[in-house]
Structure 1
């Protein structure tokens, strides 16, 4: 039997499928013979160079024979923004617990002692000694300096055994605070009658006056205190060699509120002065006498 088909005598070869490409058309088969080329030259894709630079694999749908243009290929490309965000050194990592930031910003400021009312600060300062108030607390700030000069602290002054206390200092203290009710200048050897007279003149509300062992003081100081401070209740002037009955006469006649006196070791005081004190000061409750040789025991 003879095959009349054209090219029937040639050996048949399997058909070769070529990929579709919009840039080039598939070659027409030759009329004489069907031969498969050893290598097929694929047309370059528009995104081939960019895909190679990105290190990606083959694009889906290119070799599958499905229809589609360059627009579909570009739509299938992965976005580049995610890679750029991962490589950004300035990118801040999100907080694991966002409430921690809010908690730090809402923390109250540290307490300030100056926010306390002045009355509370005055109560605190009242527990300090005179040196602690004048040489420490008053140097912290102007506000504390003004509080340390408050008249509440200057109503009771203990200046005993301070050699830096002079007449000038007493005058400044009396000028700044005229509400002094109690003062102690025992063993202050640099204070004279002049300083005590200025103090008595500027502090008429003085209630308690103490001046032990101030041998430099005389009747002038005690007379000034008795004349200018009629509300005087306590006078302790022991061991003053220059004090005489003249000072006691002024105390007995001017200080009707006197309750407590101390005249120990005042060797020039006699019975005359003590009698005037006893008659003039009817509220007298305590008299201390020691080694007063001119005072009788009766």
Structure 2
């Protein structure tokens, strides 16, 4: 099956109805293929010979191979039994994913859920190879302008953007947890994708990235514009990372371009409607001035 996500044509052989349902709005008949992903079920995963091993970081163990390809794998907790392995070529255009079936074990997640979630995790890792970033944020569109609200999990991103959608009827969700940022030739845009955290709040739409808001809980509603150097650490920690030295160059380059062309704000706020109006008054004025 072929899907178009953030202007990337992705071929993947999905087996389970859960993933097929979650991705149906992104199905495409686009002629070319940018990324080809093969998913296999394998209850006896054996790691190929590798040149470099980096132990568990960012939810995976990591491998580098002699041909320039990379890999990531995960084992059963307190065991050497490999339950997941992915390998991609140096251009991240060919990807193989292997999954062991652990649904029969106590606490084991079903294969249909794992197929969908692992596919999303691997795409987050390889998208920087294609000049795209996944920003941990809740993204919305209002009157054709896109806004991303980023913060660590549990801060209240979804609560805040839900309030936007209730106050402004023309406000729609792009993605509630992991929108994709990509410069499509017209500037940086926010794109929806099928993976949206604990919710299914996402849409196959895109909008110009007008502002990024770094959200934090506060005792009153205060918003201020912050310069690129100050905003960098806020946003960098909300991007998916890999531990390979030199492999972050593309991500750094894209993020630097984003920060030099996009207004970034810090919003300290309460979970109320006033936080929305205070924020909108500031970032909307900035978006209109940039048009």
TM-score bracket relative to the smaller structure:
under 0.3
Structure (1 or 2) with the greater strand fraction? 2
Structure (1 or 2) with the greater helix fraction? 1
TM-score of the two chains, using structure 2 as the length reference: 0.22
The structure showing larger relative contact order (alpha-carbon pairs under 8 Å, at least 6 residues apart) is 2
Larger radius of gyration: 1
